[in-house]
Amino acid sequence: MEKEGKKKEVTIWNAKNFDEFLGVLGEKVDLNAFTEMKKKLTVSTMYGEVDLNTYDALVATKLFQYFQYGIAYRVGKMIKKQDSNADGNDIKIVLLEMARLEVEYGLRPITHILPVGGSTYIKADGYLFYGKRSGKIKSMRYEEHEEKGAWTTKCIVETTDGTFDGVTTERANNNRMSDPREKARTKSMRRALRKAFPIGAGDEPLIDVEESIVARPSEQVQPPIKIDKPISDLSELVKKPKEVAKREEKSKAKIVDTSSVKELYRRINEREDKSKLIADIKAQYNIKSLALLTEEQAQEVLSAL
């Protein structure tokens, strides 16, 4: 008599459907009634009010697009760089939260949201984007003073729901591209906007991490890990997109046209000291044009701004 294979235990993590999930929890629900109720319950999204069935479909569609267009691959590399022990489930949880934030608030992965510490971190640009898109920001101003090279800045944001502020102090460091006044403005603005629009504020690390974790390699909490291949944990779910593979093949070329370089151009053009900044970047990397920056170098510069 052949031994029957052991039946895999169903847990909340491997439940294939809602019925199995409820079974693990020891709960019983009339699924037909539940399905009908989902049609009546609504969620606010960037597309307007939708029922729960539509909401689930929107989140699933965003997840599919992340894998289709290489966003999942890039986010996975960022997570692996911070924590070499992160697995496919860790990456999928972060991607799921990113999809939810994009559906509900229009915030885009990497541009507005970063993976940090196994969770999501909304950048200052993300809060500002949502604030402007919502139409709730009435005014925003800064109060600042400089003392012995340290800039203390207070950002005051007036919205339709009230007035909120954020304060920070930044000092100059050895990085020639680091502008303490600009950093103080960005941090104070993010803190004020996070109070005004508390999107995910309860789940993220309560620190400013745009420069401490995802910025200069010398200051990262985890040592940087070079990854040349697709993340093995996700290899069964998605193949490396052709455009990503081609971009990596060209990373050693003299001229690299990547999203990071384009973003760097945009950020520099917004600066009043762009001429000096461009000269400093060229001198630091010994290049004649910003177009010669590699993807890694562009990301490093962006993190330091």
Structure tokens given for 34: 């539940």
Contacts of 303 (CB under 8 A, 6+ apart): 210, 211, 214, 215, 216
Does the pLDDT at position 286 exceed 80? no
pLDDT in the model for residue 101: 95
Dihedral through CA 225, CA 228, CA 229, CA 230, nearest 10? 60
> pLDDT category, 70, cuts 50, 70, 90?
very high
The single-letter DSSP state of residue 86 is -
Taking a C-beta distance cutoff of 8 angstroms, is the pair 80, 224 a contact?
no
pLDDT in the model for residue 103: 95
d(CA 114, CA 210): 9
Q: In 29-156, which ranges are continuous DSSP H helix?
A: 31-40, 52-68, 71-82, 88-105, 124-134
pLDDT in the model for residue 8: 72
Question: Which residue is associated with the tokens 């929890």?
Answer: 25
Tell me if the pTM is above 0.75: no
Domain ranges of the chain: 12-133+212-240, 137-196, 246-305
DSSP 154-199: EEEEEETTEEEEEEEEEE--S-TT--HHHHHHHHHHHHHHHHHS-S
The pLDDT tens digits of the residues spanning 121-143 come to 999 999 999 999 999 999 999 99
pLDDT in the model for residue 262: 72
Average pLDDT over the chain, rounded to an integer: 77
The pLDDT tens digits of the residues spanning 28-67 come to 777 777 777 777 888 889 889 998 889 989 999 999 999 9
Q: Say whether 123 sits in a helix, a strand or coil.
A: coil
d(CA 176, CA 236): 44
